[in-house]
């Protein structure tokens, strides 16, 4: 008689429970947060829509994406994709090109004429949105999905805000921008152009609005004092980009200098090259490692012939001569003057030292408070100190980007909805993040990232044709399949095939697995075989309320 048979004969009931009391821990299917989802400022379920895309179900993937972000074709182009910076795949070969798949879905939706599918909750109210930029459009979109009637009052001649006036067409083509904005209008949002709001409470009363979301952006260029004997050739970057976008004549001369080192400075220099100047040079007080612009922006500017004078700050302007002081980077990472000076020649100077928000019109609203920089103070629910008036985007204290502004709009919409209905909105608690060291990549193979095609350099400076091109369906499918599904079961059968006790029950395609704990010995082989860390071994004492079934992903 074997030891196993002996154990069974001595205590058959105990043997029927696997190893019974000898099992100190049991495996449980978990639902963890992938780092890409956690890093997305718009709160997209990236892993969720990538899962649908890799199955070829592009329409469902697009609908899943639209639950959190209404503008995939826009964000697939202009977002700086922090999700990819966080992607665990980078430790294997390269990060998943999430933005390229997002753009593919967005462009395909426009090509196919897909419409958002949602069920609006009855009992909605009327909401005023001031500002038709990414934050205002996002809030209007999500409020509409939540069942409210929304109108946008936009001071400018077109909606889109700084996406339209601050991002050149070679990065964000206007046809795709207009088409995604049109989708919001087709959902029932009324967009009133050339309508500047100076009295928010008066507009709310006149239009019978029960709440308002203010998102006027940051369209004013910062002012700095530079001694100048002749400032005829000076202009700010925002005004310059707007004038070019509107087709207005701009006098730059043969040589133009751009003061600043952010993305706007890079865009201004590159647009100047497209306007036909012989020389566009950036003057920046920091070095390349400490610049404000994203690295690829500087790379593309240099490729297109823009010159960058690192570690230089302007001290005086005298006609066409700009006197700059040479700087050095100090130990604290700040630029330090050296007392050495140089002279640069330029016919015009574009100031690109940052933007400020024009929130003065809110000063008459009781309860609204402002930061030192003019931004509006809001609570965790995005509401200002005035009941029913919310704010977001570049006009509140925050980092500034299109995606952050879009996320603000979604967040505000959920709090506005709850406030109007007399409810309390509680965000879902975040699950633990699965870092790379938690993965067990027994099937690791190299599958490098797809590179998006670029417009040849020889064709760039002749106009504003889009530089970065989209990827094909074949490449989009390939990229989606590169996702490692960090923290969430993707039914690879690793646990099912490795269990020595046949304690794992396969529930069928899309339904995942369930544990039969009467057979499980707690050996942990299933966890060791799970490549995405979707299985956790937990103490028996903590397992009273755990079923052992693989959950539906709620990331």
Q: pLDDT, tens digit, for every residue of 271-317? A: 999 999 999 999 999 999 999 899 999 999 999 999 999 999 999 99
Which domains does the chain show, CATH number per domain?
Answer: 3-31+488-542 (3.30.70.20), 35-116+430-481 (1.10.1060.10), 126-219+358-420 (3.50.50.60), 221-355 (3.50.50.60)
Question: Where do we find the tokens 């459009």?
Answer: 137
Question: Could you tell me if 53 and 98 are in contact, meaning their C-beta atoms sit under 8 angstroms apart?
Answer: no
Q: How far is CA 469 from CA 98, 108, 111, 212, 484, in A?
A: 14, 14, 16, 38, 25
Instruction: Kindly report the pTM of this predicted structure.
Output: 0.91
Cα Rg of the chain, angstroms: 28
Question: Could you tell me if 27 and 522 are in contact, meaning their C-beta atoms sit under 8 angstroms apart?
Answer: yes
Question: Could you tell me if 536 and 527 are in contact, meaning their C-beta atoms sit under 8 angstroms apart?
Answer: yes
Q: What pLDDT sits at residue 358?
A: 86
Q: What pLDDT sits at residue 14?
A: 38
* Helix 174-186 / helix 98-112 crossing angle, nearest 10 deg: 60
Q: And the tokens for 341?
A: 């000076």
Residues of the chain with pLDDT under 50: 1-20, 554-555
The secondary structure element, H or E, covering residue 59 is helix 58-66
Q: What pLDDT sits at residue 51?
A: 96
Q: What pLDDT sits at residue 280?
A: 97
Q: What share of the chain is helix, strand, coil (3-state, %, to 5)?
A: 35, 15, 50
CA dist 270 and 222 (Å) reads 21
DSSP summary character for residue 431: P
Alpha helices in 210-323 (DSSP H): 237-245, 263-274, 295-303
CA dist 77 and 380 (Å) reads 29
């Amino acid at each position: 008689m074997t030891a196993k048979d002996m154990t069974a004969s001595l205590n058959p009931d105990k043997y029927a429970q696997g190893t019974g009391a000898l099992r100190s821990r049991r495996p449980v299917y978990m639902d963890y947060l992938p780092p890409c989802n956690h890093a997305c400022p718009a709160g997209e379920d990236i892993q969720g829509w990538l899962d649908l895309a890799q199955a070829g179900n592009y329409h469902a993937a697009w609908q899943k994406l639209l639950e959190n972000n209404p503008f995939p074709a826009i964000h697939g182009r202009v977002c700086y994709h922090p999700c990819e910076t966080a992607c665990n795949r980078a430790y294997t070969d390269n990060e998943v090109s999430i933005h390229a798949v997002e753009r593919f879905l967005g462009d395909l939706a426009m090509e196919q004429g897909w419409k958002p599918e949602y069920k609006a909750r009855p009992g909605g109210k009327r909401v005023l949105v001031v500002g038709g930029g990414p934050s205002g459009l996002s809030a209007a979109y999500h409020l509409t999905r939540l069942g409210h009637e929304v109108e946008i009052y936009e001071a400018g001649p077109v909606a889109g805000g700084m996406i339209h006036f601050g991002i050149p067409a070679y990065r964000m083509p206007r046809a795709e921008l207009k088409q995604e904005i049109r989708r919001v209008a087709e959902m029932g949002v009324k967009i009133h152009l050339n309508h500047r709001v100076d009295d928010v409470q008066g507009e709310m009363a006149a239009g019978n609005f029960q709440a308002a979301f203010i998102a006027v952006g940051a369209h004013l260029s910062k002012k700095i004092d530079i001694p100048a004997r002749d400032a005829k050739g000076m202009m700010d970057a925002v005004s310059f980009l707007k004038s070019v976008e509107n087709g207005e004549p701009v006098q730059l001369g043969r040589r133009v200098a751009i003061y600043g080192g952010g993305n706007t400075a890079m865009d201004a220099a590159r647009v100047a090259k497209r306007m036909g100047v012989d020389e566009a040079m950036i003057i920046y007080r920091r070095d390349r490692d400490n610049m404000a612009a994203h690295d690829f922006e500087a790379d593309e500017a240099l490729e297109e012939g823009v010159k960058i004078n690192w570690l230089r700050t302007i001290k005086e302007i005298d006609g066409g001569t700009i006197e700059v002081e040479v700087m050095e980077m100090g130990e604290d990472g700040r630029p330090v003057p050296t007392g050495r000076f140089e002279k640069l020649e330029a016919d015009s100077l574009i100031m690109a030292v940052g933007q400020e928000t024009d929130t003065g019109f809110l000063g008459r609203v009781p309860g609204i408070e402002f930061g030192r920089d003019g931004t509006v103070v809001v609570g965790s629910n995005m509401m200002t100190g005035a009941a029913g008036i919310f704010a977001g985007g570049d006009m509140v204290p925050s980092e500034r980007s299109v995606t952050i502004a879009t996320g603000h709009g979604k967040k505000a919409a959920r709090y506005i909805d709850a406030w109007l209905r007399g409810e309390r909105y509680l965000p879902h608690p975040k699950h633990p993040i699965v870092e790379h060291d938690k993965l067990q990549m027994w099937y690791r193979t190299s599958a490098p990232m797809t590179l998006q095609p670029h417009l040849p350099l020889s064709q760039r400076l002749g106009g504003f044709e889009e530089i970065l091109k989209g990827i094909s369906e074949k490449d989009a499918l390939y990229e989606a399949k590169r996702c490692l599904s960090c923290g969430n079961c993707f039914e690879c059968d690793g646990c099912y095939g490795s269990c020595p006790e046949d304690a794992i029950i396969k529930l069928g395609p899309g339904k995942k697995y369930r544990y039969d704990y009467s057979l499980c010995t707690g050996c942990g082989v299933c966890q060791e075989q799970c490549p995405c860390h979707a299985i956790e071994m937990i103490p028996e004492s903590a397992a009273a309320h755990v079923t052992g079934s693989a959950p539906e992903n709620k990331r």
